[in-house]
Structure formats: C-alpha cells, structure tokens
Structure 1
C-alpha cells in the first residue's frame, strides 16, 4: 500500500523503527511512555515497534523508574551485543583498525605503521601494502574478540582523498596527495578480505568520518550546522548541515591562500596544506633553520617543535627562552589557518568550526586563540560574530569512531534490519490481473 505522500506502509514501519532506535541510542534508556513525545509516535505505534525490536534481540529492558502516582515504568535500551562494527582509519602515518559493539565499546584494536619504503613519500601508500594491513587487521580484531564475521553490521573505512563510486567496483579512491589514482578500494577489499558477501563496506573521506563522530558524540552535538576540520599530515574538512545526516567532505586544504606560493604535495602552488599541514609545518621549520629531531616520526617531531616554541617552565619557575624560529613559523601558520577558517565562515556560515585530528589537537590548545583572532579579522563581520571555533572532544582517534558509525547510521536508516532482510512488498492483486490482461 502506498500512502498519499508516496511512501509505502513498509516505509512508514521502517521510519517508526528508525525513530525509536535513534532515540534509545542517543537518549536511552527510556520508557515506552517517554518514547512517544520524543519520536512523535502514538503509544500504540511505540508499543508495536518496541515489541518487534525486543523480539529481534535489538532492544532489552534496563531496569525501571518510578512514575508519578503509578506503577514503575520499565526502561528500554539497545543491546550492545546485538551488532558489531569495524572502523578503519587509513591515516597518513598508520592504518588503525578497531572493532566496536553497538555501544561503541572498543573490543579490539590493531595498528600498522606506514613507514616510507623508498625515496618518495607516496611509497608508504602502496595499495597492496594498505590492503594487506586491512586484511590482516580485520581478521585479527575479530579473532581477538571472538566475534563471528557474520555478526558485523559493516566495515567503515576513512581514507585521505575523494571517494567516488562505480557500479563495477563500488567505492573508488582518488587520493592525489598519496599517489592513489582511481584505486578501486572496495573491490580490492572484497577480493582480499575474508568476510561474508553480506557484510557491507562503507568507504569515505576521513574528514567526513571525523565530522560524523563529532556531530553525533562530540563537540558538534546540538549544532544545526558545523564545519569539522581534520588536521593531520595534511588538512581537510567536512561540512555538516544536519546533525543526523552525513556531511559533505570538502578539499579545504587545497584552497589557494597564496598565489604562486609553496608547492603543495598535490602538485599545485599556494595551497593551505602547503603551509598548515603538519608535514609542511615541519618542512618550513627546517627550511627556516630549525632542527626537527632526526629520524623522528611526524607526531614526535611536531611535539618537539611545540616544546621548542612553548618551553615548559623549569622547576624553579623560570621559563626558558623559546625557539624563535619555531615560534615564528607557528605564528605564521596561525594566520594561514585563520584565513582558511575565514573562507569556511564566509562560504558556509556555520554555527561551529571544530578542529580535530592528531595535529589539530596538539596545535589547537597552543594557538587556537590566535587562529580565532585571525579568522575574525579576515571573515565578514556578521557570520564571524556567530560562529564558535573550538577543539573537537573525541581525541585523535575520532576518525576510526566515525568510520565505525557509517555502518551504524545505515543500520538505523533501515530500521535495524540487515540490508538483505527487507521483505518484498506484496504485489496488489489488481496489478497482477492487469499485467496478465496486457500480456494477452
């Protein structure tokens, strides 16, 4: 049956289930009585949906709460062990694989460093090596936790680059800065990773998965619109206009901030990433006469740069002289970032700009005030006065969490039913009759 809006009865049932699951997930435990007002459903609809979800093992009782003048009301919650997700962060320095239950409890984790294997930086992103890390890591986290692959809702993968899709290959990654030219990553994973064909892959830009995590669980909660910035070896961003819907990844790091400026690793000149990414930041420090630790990984080298620019007071209270070169490079970087934030403010007029990623969290606590000041000076006054620029709250591993909730979001969107389990809509008798009539 199709209702007047064009939706079928099955659509309405799925939407009702989605509404109940989302409210139990984000606000639970809740009673049946409380679910009515927050979902907009009648008490009868709530009871029917809850009965289905309990029978399917997705929802369970979680104690009771006293009611005003009546008997205690039973609380309900989503069962954490009713499904599992894997989140993968194909970062610029490592591949991280984590297994979560529905409560986002981390059950197992594996990390594989991406060490350069040749003279070119992109050697570390050899597609075969990355796929091998994912194959081994996915098998290892499932084995450690003792979870059968069939119980996975899906595998979410955050990658650096633009993700497109084709009917033949699924998700295809265009990662210009890492040397990936139309890599059919989904097909390669399906051919290599031993998972049932029913387990879906969700491959998307890492900034987008970070944005999903911060909007659902972090500093973006409650905002109608936000831009979430991923600041690591390079920089990217995700624009979100609805806290419950996926955002849109934008290649913010490749906006031109200086005509005929520094050569970016994408090949163009003057990109923001050529000045503000952690890799470029360390290069600029060395070029200016600084001394990054020899042989140190990017994260350790950036920590050393910050320690040099902002030295810790000695036990006697005296403050050592800061490294003037490191401090000057960081202050210039704050202005470049402020100008880049001003572009985001003028283009999207968000309520919040949230800074995440391992480098963003390291740098932000040191000079976010300077970035805010520059952003305000470069942006239009009206939108600049209405935006809050803050650090993300989910830590440096938020890309993995965001990747894991890609399958969770899709699961909720299907009303908590596996993709292959949607029942076929019965064909009305009149349609069959008329089709048979037309055939004669």
Structure 2
C-alpha cells in the first residue's frame, strides 16, 4: 500500500456530472447536454485525500515545492467507477458456458463459492478481486462474498487496508442450497451481528444484509434480516430480483401470499433507500411504483443479462415511475469487471428495445447517479471540492483502430461514446483511492 502525498496536483481533461443528464439527445455541434461537466486541460488539486480545488491550466501553475505534480495532459480524468452489484468469489467461474440463471447457480456458482469456506482461499480470492477492481478503474462497489464468515472477513479487511468504499455482508442462505453453503437463522443472525459490530462504519466500509435471493432464504430468515435493518442505523440490503422468468415463477410458488417477487422483500421490511436489488427485468407497474415509494434501487447488470439470456430491462420505464437505476458488472454472470464494457452492453440492451442510451446517461449511472442512489454523493461520484479523491485516469484510445476512430470524432459526445464502446481496462493509466495511487499501468508516459 502506497502513502498519499499531502498535496497532489493532477493535470488532465476532467469529465464528471453535476446532475442527471437524463435521456436528452446531445447537442449536434458540441455533444453536450445539461448535467455534463467538461473541463479540458485543468488541474485537479488534492489535499489529504480530498479534492481541494479545480483550476484551468492556462491560469494556474502548481508550485512543485508545495504540490506533488503529475502532468497527464491529453488524458481523461474521471471519478472512479462505482459497481453496484458484483460477486467477489465468482472470478473462478467468469465466462463459463451454456446455462441460464438457475442452472448457472447449481453448475458453476455454488461449487465455486463452497471453496471459500477455506480461509486461505477466501483471502487469496478477496485480494485478487479487490486489486482487479482497481485495475479496471472501479473504486467503490457493492459486493456479494459467500455465506462463509471467512469470505466476508477477508473482503472487508482487504478493502479497509486499501481505504476503499465498499458495501458488503455475509450471504444469507438457509434453504435450496448445497450442504456447506447453507446457514440457519440463529447462526446467521449471530454471525451478522458480530460482523456488523466489527466492520460496519469502520473506515469507509458499510455492512449490507445480503440475501442471496428469495428462494434461498426462508420467511424466517428474511424476517431476521428485516429486523436488523430496522435495528442498526445505516445498514444496506442487497439481493436479486426478477432476473429470469423461471426464477420469477419459482418465487411465486414459494411465496404464494406475496403479490410479486419484489413484494416478498417488501413484506419482510427489506425495501428502503439503502436497498440494492440486482436486475429487476421482469417487474410490472406496481413493482416500479413500489421501488419509487421505498427509494430502493435497481442495479442494472446488462452484461450478465445478455450472457445468461435473462432479458432486456426497461430502464426508461423504471425512471419514469420514479425508481432509481445504477450500473453493475455482475461478475461472474457478467463477463468483465470493466465498467466501460458494462456500459457498452447497456447501450446494446436498450438498442434492442428501440431506445438510444447516450454515453452521458450511461456514465452518470456508474458515477454520480450510483453515488446518489447509495446515499454517498457527498463522498464519491464527482470531481467536486470536498469529495474523496477516488479517481481514474484514462487514455482516450488503446490500439490503432481506436486511435484512428478517436482522431475523427467531431464533437465531445461522439468521442466519449467511441471511448466507452471501444475501451476497456487497457485504456486505464492509473487509479487513486483517497489520493493514493493504488494502480498504475507501466509504463506511464
């Protein structure tokens, strides 16, 4: 772990958001829409891990005796990406062949997660996962470990060591899972309380009651999670909802008293402003209204939805109802930790529905929009004075084809959209957590 300079001055092209750009069509001449904040060739000033100022390079020269200076002009500097749904142990099974959701769990996910009962495997897996996030430009995440305390401890300890903003918690599963992946209500409550006491609010960590999905928790376990949500201030809740049609039908059989899959969680007291529900493809108007009423968000996982053949989310319809949507890689159903690849897939999902997703709307959902949905916009998601300096520095193009395309962009949105569509982790030059460079691609010119 590197130490952070007291004062850091970074020169680059600055891109972030000060509002939701919505679904507005970019201006044909400039490529801009309201909400986009574009500050080419500026200095970003960082003091004690927080953004202290932004100055145009033409009017400001940092004193090298005062500032640690990094002149990266010509590169793109953005807030680090926020991945609102990802599974740390599933790097073991990313890019596995041939199944839909329920078969995927039985064939690939559950066997992989059982290995993380071994503390050594859990620590090695957490270290690999956290370093991989940083090497993909992701600085904050909402993460599923496994049902094992060792997996959760390893992930929380690793994130704390790196100073990362991470939301996670022990997975809850007391039925319809293999031996070795099931807990029980008393044990799950005991383990959750111990983990909350140790980690919730430590450094930049927050604990999440982590319900795998409704079929793998009994009503009693869901009720226990709901009680803890009521009891402990600031807890998050993460789970899956309405990802796959066979899954939705199974939930209806298991919970006949519930109006819908989403209603199962509502009845247990699990929906609220800190609830993060992955997928949300097969929802109806009443579900969308319930999301809006409770403040819960959908973590849209386009790469996973395409790879597993789950379906195409109605993102504009969710927002029109007042629900919040953020972006997520959902590795290992998703095929990359790169949020650029994730956003490119989000464009394809909407294109299949006849909707055109701009680069602005997509990038907002993985930066400021995600921070707002998590209640963390005061800390992350924007290049704003006072925010924590979680940053990612990008090359506009990697390789001859992307470089050729970048040189022919006529306005800013065209350039950013090509970067988003053609780019991935190869474009990443450096990642900072609270002003500390925790990833650098070598060499950096």
- The structure with higher relative contact order (CA 8 Å, sep 6+) is 2
Larger radius of gyration: 1
TM-score tier after normalising by the smaller chain length: 0.3 to 0.5
TM-score of the pair, normalised by structure 1 = 0.34
